Amino acid sequence: MLVALYENQFVDMTGETSKEKWYSIMKTGLLLCPVCKNKVIPKCGPKNVWHFAHQSQDACDGLHEAETNYHLMGKKSLFHWFKRKEKNLYLEHYLRDIAQRPDIYLDEDKQAIEFQCATLNVDMFTSRINGYQSIGIESDWIFGMKRINKKRENLYSLQMTDLTAAKRDKTGKLYLNYFCPLQQQFLLLRNILPISQRKVLADGYSFSAKNLDLTMMFDTLNSKSYEYRNLLWNNQKKTWRMTAYRNVSPSIMYVKKVMYFNHRSITLFSPLAGMPSYNYYFFETSPFIWQSYLLFFIDKLSSTFTLNQLENECRRLMAKRILLERKLPYIKGSFQCAIKGYLNFLESEQIIEQMNDIHYKKKRPIPYPKTLDEAFKQDKIFSEKAVIFDFV
């Protein structure tokens, strides 16, 4: 940690205090943890970021995870960066009502900033986000750049839980922010389209810390054209078709088996599957998998069917972890929203018709290609006429 108490005043490691001065203060025995009030000692070595450490091994409510040198460096850098933009901010400000200590707290905006390097599970993310919300504090997460890997242009691999912290910008698109303290570089991911548990299509914008304006951090940026994003998505569908046969994930193995016993190939899934319909990302499972299965299931139902039938079938598969739901604490919704969004898409394609709030009827047979060439052509046709990115 970078903050301690000394003679009932907060002191921190972000200033110009010398190593000798810190060790002189330490000898008084009055350096304390702001949370548990136990003694802390300054760590002022030549290699790592200077910080305070607890003298004893007793548990402290303010420590949620171990801090690496990379994390300490990032937290310190972000504090200085925000300090140039905001006046009333605090480093490691402890919120006693919820026993949480955000890395940076903007008092005027009532906003908590977390620089996240370690992997948190979804429940921990949700708990911390809900904690801030319970006392009326807005929270935002900036992830360490080590958690993201650019695979190719507009394709990124994230740590699985990063999307838990995603928010929607004012246009409704998902966004995330990353920071590298070593290079003093920000990466802003905008127009995020999840395609699997870890991979996303996104527009990535890199800025040096000195050139990034605070308003850009949590706002919409200029996006690529609809045609370009359409092309990206079609290329991804082509990848799914070319690689599905060798994918051994539980979800795809299950759907592959179901389709095989019904005389269909996973490679030749319907062009109506694998679409970024509204709220599709509330499923963590790739859209071509869960949508392919939903089409198969609808095909087996009678000419009229209900929303509850589809939801119950998805619950059955989620209980077996064949389908996985994505939790997004900042965004209201659930897997039911993904199903409803996909049904709206199928209705726009005249495949089904909604009769009332829960009842639907089939209108046209679900199309399936017979060859890969035919599949690629159908993918292109359906994506162009569906205006799919209006749904996201």
* Domain spans, the chain: 1-63, 64-224, 229-390
- For residue range 208-261, what is the model confidence (pLDDT) as tens digits? 998 898 888 887 777 666 777 888 889 999 999 999 888 888 899 999 999 999
List, in order, residues 6 or more apart from 359 with CB less than 8 Å away. Answer: 304, 305, 306, 307
Average of pLDDT values for 182-189?
A: 93
In this prediction, what percent of the chain has a pLDDT beyond 90?
57
CB atoms under 10 Å from CB of 204, counted, come to 17
Q: How confident is the model at residue 2 (pLDDT cuts 50, 70, 90)?
A: low
Q: Is 67 helix (H, G, I), strand (E, B) or coil?
A: coil
Report the pLDDT value the prediction gives residue 148, as an integer from 0 to 100.
96
User: Helix 287-300 and helix 307-319: axis angle, to 10°?
Assistant: 130
The average pLDDT across 104-125 equals 91
Which helix (DSSP H) or strand (DSSP E) does residue 17 occupy?
none
Burial 56-73 (b: 16+ CB within 10 A, else e): eeeebebebeebeebbbb
What does the pLDDT average to over 39-49? 71
The mean pLDDT value for 87-100 works out to 87
pLDDT in tens, 346-380: 999 999 999 999 999 999 999 999 999 999 999 98
CB pairs under 8 A, 24+ apart, for 170-177? 170/219, 170/220, 171/220, 172/392, 173/220, 173/223, 173/392, 174/281, 175/218, 176/141, 176/143, 177/140, 177/141, 177/142, 177/143, 177/217, 177/218
Tell me the C-alpha to C-alpha distance, in Å, between residue 99 and each of 15, 68, 133, 208.
26, 21, 13, 34
Which one-letter DSSP state was computed for residue 244? G
Q: Is the pLDDT of residue 9 over 80?
A: no
- 64-224 maps to CATH 3.40.960.10: yes
Provide the 8-state DSSP code for 220: -
What is the rounded CA–CA span in Å between residue 377 and residue 382?
A: 9
The model's confidence at residue 387, banded by pLDDT at 50, 70 and 90, is low
Q: Rounded CA gap, 353 and 364, in Å?
A: 10
Angle between helices 372-386 and 226-243 (to 10 degrees): 150
State yes or no: pLDDT of 268 exceeds 90: yes
Which tokens go with 86? 């905001």
* Predicted confidence (pLDDT) per residue in 305-336, tens digit: 999 999 999 999 999 999 999 999 999 999 99
In angstroms, how far is CA 138 from the centroid of its own chain? 17
Given a cut of 60, is residue 392 above it in pLDDT? Answer: no
Provide the pLDDT for residue 52: 73
Residue 36: band (very low, low, confident or very high) from pLDDT cuts 50, 70, 90: confident
What's the pLDDT tens digit per position in 46-63? 666 666 777 776 666 656
The pLDDT, as a whole number, for residue 131 is 95
pLDDT tens per residue across span 189-212: 999 999 999 999 999 999 999 889
Per-chain mean pLDDT for the chain? 87
Residue with tokens 């599905």: 244
| Confidence check: pLDDT of 5 > 80 | no
Q: Which of 16-20, 36-40, 175-179, 230-234 has the highest mean pLDDT?
A: 175-179
The Cα–Cα gap between 193 and 281 comes to 8
Whole-angstrom Cα distance, residue 47 to residue 56? 23
Mean pLDDT of 71-94: 86
Give residue 385's pLDDT: 65
- Sheet of 359-362: strand order equals 304-306, 359-362, 352-354
Nearest of 212, 168, 108 to residue 329 by alpha carbon: 168
Instruction: Single out the residue of 241, 245, 346, 239 nearest to residue 291, CA to CA.
Output: 346
pLDDT, greater one: 308 or 18? 308
